[in-house]
Amino acid sequence: MHELGIVYHIIRDVENVARANGVSRVSGVTLLLGEVSGVVPDLLLDAWRWAADKKPITQGAELIVEPVEAVTHCETCGCDYATVEHGKTCPHCGSGETCLLQGREVMIKQIETPDEDPADAVPDGPSDVPDAVDAANPLRIA
């Protein structure tokens, strides 16, 4: 499964970045995903859920996929056009001398840690919520 291999790659990168920054938990990862990367976002998200929950550092972390539009450049007339619509042939001059500018990336854009918003990281159970939060939301106490 192609997507699972990619997810393992992402998790390894996340672990390295987290360790280098002294972070022990990650709450979210934003991934740039090119239109012609060949990766299916739905499969990637499924693989992520399965694999990320097995690692303490990424357990419960959310994967956010940010699509990147594929753009091709024509060497003959110098224009840029949408790759998905027109493929390798320039729609303006019909030339085949074209090259992909962007759209193949599978790249981590951002890693979030729960420290940035601790109250948000504990949606179920008041055990880890600071007292101030409980006092501010008295209706939540059954």
- Binding-site ranges for Zn ion (CB under 5 A): 74, 76-77, 90, 92-93, 95
In the complex, the smallest distance separating the C-beta of residue 77 from Zn ion, rounded to whole angstroms, is 3
In the complex, the smallest distance separating the C-beta of residue 41 from Zn ion, rounded to whole angstroms, is 31
Q: Which is nearer to Zn ion, 64 or 93 (CB)?
A: 93
Q: Which is nearer to Zn ion, 48 or 81 (CB)?
A: 81
Q: Which is nearer to Zn ion, 79 or 133 (CB)?
A: 79
CA–CA separation, 41 vs 102, rounded Å?
A: 17
Q: Residue 72: beta bridge partners?
A: 81, 100
Residue 8 host element (H or E): helix 2-20
In the complex, the smallest distance separating the C-beta of residue 28 from Zn ion, rounded to whole angstroms, is 41
Q: Which is nearer to Zn ion, 12 or 88 (CB)?
A: 88
Q: Which is nearer to Zn ion, 100 or 129 (CB)?
A: 100
In the complex, the smallest distance separating the C-beta of residue 72 from Zn ion, rounded to whole angstroms, is 10
Helix axes 2-20, 41-52, angle to 10 degrees: 50
What long-range pairs does 9-17 form, CB within 8 A, spacing at least 24? 10/48, 10/63, 10/108, 11/51, 11/52, 11/55, 11/58, 13/108, 14/57, 14/58, 14/108, 14/111, 15/55, 15/57, 15/58, 17/108, 17/111
In the complex, the smallest distance separating the C-beta of residue 86 from Zn ion, rounded to whole angstroms, is 10
